Structure formats: C-alpha cells, structure tokens
Amino acid sequence: MPRYDFDLFTIGAGSGGVASSRRAGAYGARVAICEELRVGGTCVLRGCVPKKLLVYGAQFADAFADAAGFGWTVPPADFDWPKLIAAKDKEIGRLSQIYINMLNNAHVEIIEARGVVVDPHTVEVNGRHYTAENILVAVGGWPETPQLPGIEHVISSNEALDLPALPKRIVIVGGGYIAVEFAGIFNGLGSEVVEIIRREDVLRGFDEDIRVYLGEEMRKRGIDIRGGTQVARIDKGAGGYTVTTTAGGRIETDLVMYATGRAPNTQSLGLAEIGVELTANGAVVVDEWQRAPKVPSIYAIGDVTDRINLTPVAIAEGRAIAETLFNNNPMRMDHADVPSAVFSNPPLGVVGLTEDEARRQYGEVDVYQARFRPMKYTLSGREERTFLKLVVDTKSQRVVGCHMLGQDAPEIIQGLAIAVKCGATKQQFDQTVGIHPSAAEEFVTLRDKYVRPPEKAAAE
C-alpha cells in the first residue's frame, strides 16, 4: 500500500502548476492539483493572455489612422468596450477548459478549493487532509498597493480587465511593465491617460536607452507621464476621483489604477509554520532544483519564488521538476539569458544584459545601436521611431545583450535569444545575411560602435 495518497500534490493551477502536474501524471505519477479560484492562473485569466488581447484591440486605432497613407478611405470607427471584454472572456474560458482537459488526460485529480500546507507531506483542503511525497507550491503572485488615504478607491490590473465601461480619464500609478502596457491599452482605446511614476523614466531594470525612448514614444501618443511624482491621497467625489500628489498637485480622473508591484501569494499558506524559508516579501526560497532547502519535500516555481516572474519560466521550472522526480532525468532550469517582452505601445523585446549590467560584469563593452523610422510609417506619416541595440563583450566579442523598441520587437527578439543563448559573437551576427527590407536586418548590419556623448557619459 502506498505510503502517501499522491506522489505530487500541487497547490495552484496556473501555467507552471499545470505544466508540472500534467507532465508528472503523464509519467505515471499519482498527482493532485488544487485551485481556489479557476484553473488557468494569472497568465490565462488575469495577465498575459487577456492583456494582450486588449493590446491587439487598442492597436486598431493606429491601423485606421495609418490606412489613409496607403490609399484607404476608412469611415469613422466606433469602439465597443463591452463587446471586446465579452470576446476576451470567451477566449479565456476556452483556454481554461483546455488546461482542465490536459489535466484530465494526464489523470491528474483536480480539487477546486484552497489548499494549506499543514506539514511537510500534508495539504489540507476544505477540512480534508491529503498526503503527498512531494508538494509543489505554484500559487503565483497578487497585486499589492501601498497604505495611503483613499487607497480603497483604486483598482488593480485584475479589475482593469473586467471594467463595465471604458473610462474617459484614468490615472495609472506605477512605471513597470504592467503600468506601461495598460497605459498603452487605455490610450489606444481613447482614454485620457496620466501615468504617475516615482522615478524619471519608466521600466526600472531595463536598459537605460530603452527606458528613455519608450517614454518619448508614449508621450508622443498623448500619455501624460509624470516622473519623480508620488501620490499623497485619493479622494472620491461626485464626478470621479481626485489624486493629490506629495508636491500638492491635483489630478481629476474617472478611475485610478495601481500597478506598483506584485507580491508572492503565500499569506496563510502554512509554509513558514512548517519551516519553509520565506523572503521579506513572502517569496519561497528554493535551491537550483526548485526545492526548499530546509524542507526538501516542498518545491516552488514561478512568481511565488519572485525571481524571473514570467510564465515560460514557471512552465520550464515545473517541467524540470517533473523530469527530475518522475522521469529519471535530472533537470535544472537555466535562468540565464531569458528573453522578455513588454507589450507597450510601441512594444519592446530584450534578452541578455543591459549596457550597465554588462559594464559591471565585463568591464569593457562595445555598443552598437540604431534609431530609425520604420518603412511602414514613411507613407502613413507616423513619427514613431524604432530603436535597437547590441551590447558586446569587448574581449570575447560575444553578444551579451540585445534590446529593441518598435513594432514586432518581441517576435524578433525571440529569434535573437537563441543566438545569445548559444554564445554568438558579433562577427557571426555580421556574417548573417539580413532579410530586406525589414527592421530585423538592422541587427546584422550594425557596423559602427556607438560612442556616448562625453556630457552624457560623465553624467552617468
């Protein structure tokens, strides 16, 4: 008779938890997964998928505006927010059901309720105890907001995806990828957008040039980015809300959205009580095998570990656990050179190191960059610029960073990520024939090193 009810019990049915559970089940393991909300997790239900569907919806405004330059006469367009939201809901419902089907096909038992860890091998769900040789924590993260007067009036990205009506005016607080993506969505759909950020530029942690140029392009589109600004209070009135800044400025708006960060969703999960080490913000501390060092039967993946909070990373981590535990194929997730994208307007894609990170790691680096008007906009008249950049280790000539801002950047960077992962050199980039005419070809035609102006270099 088995010692435990299951070989693996997963808490959280997001992309990472589902990937690990279904693969383990396919290898013959006895697996259960519990979810307190809905199968699909952040990415499918409240994150990447619905958000990008809204991004696509917002991009039609540009298409209509640019059409005239190519000879098209387009009648005045009318946008229906409830219709977009209904279509989005239908699609995420379809995807959630696909996840359920995949789990069922792998013979994974789905338990629709909240799970709490009560000891290293036991999870309690609705008063019932389930035992497992291994417990996987894949509960993701949740939006967090600061404590200040009137914070109860704000929404997060969760609620922004299900608004009953499109706001005419919205204040978005935050400068990270969620904030800039929603700023682009609401701006593209016709809302007046004010974005409040504590720093001067958006996207802290990204390459400095990308940050500056994205801010410029967003402002061109009419997004009012107020850098070096903090909120003091939010007051509700008859006609909407008043956001008061610490400097005394007042902004009248119909809606206030906070996108100032997400925290690991480990509160009241029982992990600390059984000896699992958590960081100050509640993230699960794991080793290279995704295992909690002090409680080796506990594993964690994805946003709950607060390392690289990307869906494909959570999936790769989850699959590595299944391979290691149930397929006699020890595997560790390689967190180096993970590509990422921000679906801002315009979007950006990056892989590898920023220029500053590369200088700290390698000392001397070569930088190549270009900024140009895409061919598509020569006829439409749009003034948007594409920017791309290569960061190269001077000594080895290995390309250690690729950065791009402009249409199709995420699609282009995905391919370049393979080259960076393989350790491609600048010479190999130069020897690659470009596809003409395309923006992507610029990455293999960069010949002149960029020399930063003395006054800017001194300031940095």
Which residue numbers are catalytic? Answer: 436
Q: Which two tokens stand for residue 380?
A: 């439409």
Is 333 within 8 Å of 310 (Cβ atoms)?
no
Residue with tokens 């990307």: 310
- Rounded CA separation 386/144 (Å): 33
DSSP 3-state assignment of 153? helix
| Phi, psi for residue 92 in degrees, rounded to 5 | -70, -25
Alpha helices, DSSP H, located in 335-383: 355-362, 376-380
* Sign of the C-alpha dihedral computed for residues 41, 42, 44 and 45 taken in this order: positive
Q: What is the CA radius of gyration of the chain?
A: 24
- Count of helices and strands (H, E) across the chain: 13, 21
Percent of residues in the chain assigned helix, strand, coil, to nearest 5 = 35, 25, 40
- Rounded CA separation 338/312 (Å): 9
- Rounded CA separation 405/217 (Å): 10
Residue type, 58: A
* Sign of the C-alpha dihedral computed for residues 208, 212, 215 and 220 taken in this order: negative
Q: Which two tokens stand for residue 152?
A: 């109860």
The closest of 323, 322, 277 to 304, measured between CA atoms, is 277
Q: What is the DSSP string of 297-325?
A: TEEE-GGGG-SS--HHHHHHHHHHHHHHH
Residue type, 194: V
365 forms bridges with which residues in the sheet?
393
